[in-house]
Amino acid sequence: MSSDPHHSIISGLSSDVLEHTEVKVSKCYQCGKCSAGCPLSEEMDFPPSVIMRMLQTDNPDLEEKVLRSFSIWVCLTCEMCFARCPMSIDIPKMMDYLRERSLKEKKANPKAKEIVAFHKSFLDSIKYTGRLYEIGLFIDYKARTLKILDDLALAPKMLKRGKLNIFPELIKDRSGVAEMFKKSSKKNNT
């Protein structure tokens, strides 16, 4: 990526965001409502309004910081920012794009390791069975994160209440679903 400002205006991250999500970061006038209403902003390295400002600058160093930020992963897509934005900027949709891009460029924030691992374990689970298999998800997640002891006490309590299936539910057209994964991940890192 060039550091020439004129070049980055046409090829920077903000224009990629626009192309893929129709979100125009230039519309943001920094009122801060998104950050004020965001339930996770206190856990973020940059609250949503600051992410918007960083993207507006078209500065490659700041764009890099956005893609490597913890913010984009701890965002829960609760849609509160979008609901309150006076300019109706679809920040959650933009966050989805930034996450996908960050993963593709292998820039996911190390602090987000568990969050990314959980999403990957979740998708792996449905890739093979078509439906979520909760025990399989837990085992896969623990293997990825080595968080062996976390939530270990939860499983027997769930079993006792009939909330865990011992065996996965297998759909018939598993190859159809697997094919969908294959097609969509060609362009992706999932």
Partner 1 sequence: MTLGFYPGCSLKGSSREYAESVLAVAKAFDVEIEEITDWNCCGATAAHNLNKELSLALPARILSLAEKQGLKEIVVPCAACYSRLTVTKHELSKDPLLKATVIEANGLDYSGSVSILNIIQMLDKYITPNLGGRVVKPFDHKVACYYGCLLVRPHEILKFDREEDPQSMDILMLKTGATPIDWAYKTECCGAGLSVSRTSSVGRLSGKIIEDAKDRGAEAVIVACPMCHSNLDMRRDAINTFLGEKVDIPVLYITQALGLALGIDRKKLGLQRHFVKVTV
Binding site for partner 1 (CB under 8 A): 20, 39-40, 43, 74, 76-80, 82-83, 88, 90, 92, 96-97, 99-100, 103, 114-115, 117-120, 122-123, 126, 130-132, 134, 138, 141, 150-151, 154, 157-158, 161-165, 169, 171-173, 176-177, 179-181, 183-185, 187-188, 190
Q: Which CB sits closer to partner 1, 4 or 179?
A: 179
Question: Based on the number of CB atoms within 10 Å of its own CB, is 2 exposed (0-12), middle (13-18) or buried (19 or more)?
Answer: exposed
Total number of residues shown for the chain: 190
To partner 1, the closest distance from the beta carbon of 10 in angstroms equals 22
Q: Which CB sits closer to partner 1, 31 or 78?
A: 78
Q: If DSSP states are collapsed to H, E and C, what string results for 113-171?
A: HHHHHHHHHHHHHHHHHCCCCHHHHHHHHHHHHCCCCCCCCHHHHHHHCCCCCCCCCCC
To partner 1, the closest distance from the beta carbon of 105 in angstroms equals 13
Q: CA-to-CA distance for 136 and 124, rounded, in angstroms?
A: 9
Contact 144, 175 (CB under 8 A): no
To partner 1, the closest distance from the beta carbon of 65 in angstroms equals 20
To partner 1, the closest distance from the beta carbon of 140 in angstroms equals 11
Q: CA-to-CA distance for 90 and 127, rounded, in angstroms?
A: 29
Q: Which CB sits closer to partner 1, 18 or 177?
A: 177
Q: Which CB sits closer to partner 1, 4 or 150?
A: 150
Q: CA-to-CA distance for 23 and 27, rounded, in angstroms?
A: 9
Q: Which CB sits closer to partner 1, 6 or 148?
A: 148
